[in-house]
Amino acid sequence: MNLRALQADDAAAWDDAFHWLWPVAFSAAQAKLQPYLPAEVEDVAIESLEALVEKVRSLKSVEELKPLVASIAHHRAVSRLREWFTKTRGGGKTIPLDPLGEGGLADCPDPVADSPPVVLEQKELAQRLRRTIGELRPPTDAIMMDRFISELSYEEIARKHGIPIGSVGVYLKRGLETLRRIWGRREES
């Protein structure tokens, strides 16, 4: 990926960039919208890449692209959710459409709560995301995802990564400390 070519409006470079960045925009939007507004995921992903076009001249390196796209998509998805919640709450008693599928809402973060990824400015969010990607080294990153996104048990994680079960907690503890250091706590942010 050549940032200069993008900044110089090279159509072929943009074509490559859109193919490369689409999964990022789509996945970031999907993470927020899928349980509530799945039909809007593609729309938000397109808008996010359009917004990237407007910001590309302010970037200094290609490594900024993915975190920036993810942060734009995240912010736009949160805005959509807020609009939707406002509209539905104002329009009479409503029911959520299969929120989070089988698992329900128990123990899951409020999708529009004022957590660091929601309250941070887009640029700041992208910077912290970039730091996180840099500091959360393998296999800690994969073990964290397995635990906190896929909700695997310690035993399943140990089997998957071929590590002793006693090491799983060590990786998780280290990973959580890294996140806390980069993102700060809610009350501190």
Partner 1 sequence: MNDDHFFDLAMKVIAGQATEAERAELDGLVARQPKLKTEFERQQADVRLAREVLPLVSATQATTPELPAYARGRLQTKVRQTLGRPEASPPAGTDEQRRMMWRWRWLLGLATAAAAVALAMVLWQAPAPMIQVALLDTAGASRGSDAKELAGLQQTWNKAQVESFSSAEKAGAWETNWPGDGRRAVVKVLYDRPAGELRVLGRWKGKPFAKTFVVEQDFAAALNQAKRFIQEQTGG
The minimum distance between CB 98 and partner 1, in angstroms, equals 7
Q: Is there binding between residue 70 and partner 1 (CB under 8 A)? A: yes
Contact 96, 36 (CB under 8 A): yes
The span from the CA of 5 to the CA of 138, in Å, is 32
Q: Is there binding between residue 104 and partner 1 (CB under 8 A)? A: no
Q: Which residues ranging from 27 to 46 are in contact with partner 1 (CB under 8 A)?
A: 27-28, 31, 37, 39-40, 42, 45-46
Kindly tell me which residue out of 33, 35, 71, 80 binds partner 1, with binding defined by CB under 8 A.
71
By C-beta, is 39 or 60 nearer to partner 1?
Answer: 39
By C-beta, is 1 or 108 nearer to partner 1?
Answer: 108
Structure tokens at 115: 């957590």
Kindly tell me which residue out of 3, 26, 44, 72 binds partner 1, with binding defined by CB under 8 A.
26
By C-beta, is 60 or 95 nearer to partner 1?
Answer: 95
Q: Is there binding between residue 100 and partner 1 (CB under 8 A)? A: no
Question: How far apart, in Å, are the Cα atoms of 11 and each of 5, 7, 16?
Answer: 9, 10, 9
By C-beta, is 39 or 162 nearer to partner 1?
Answer: 39
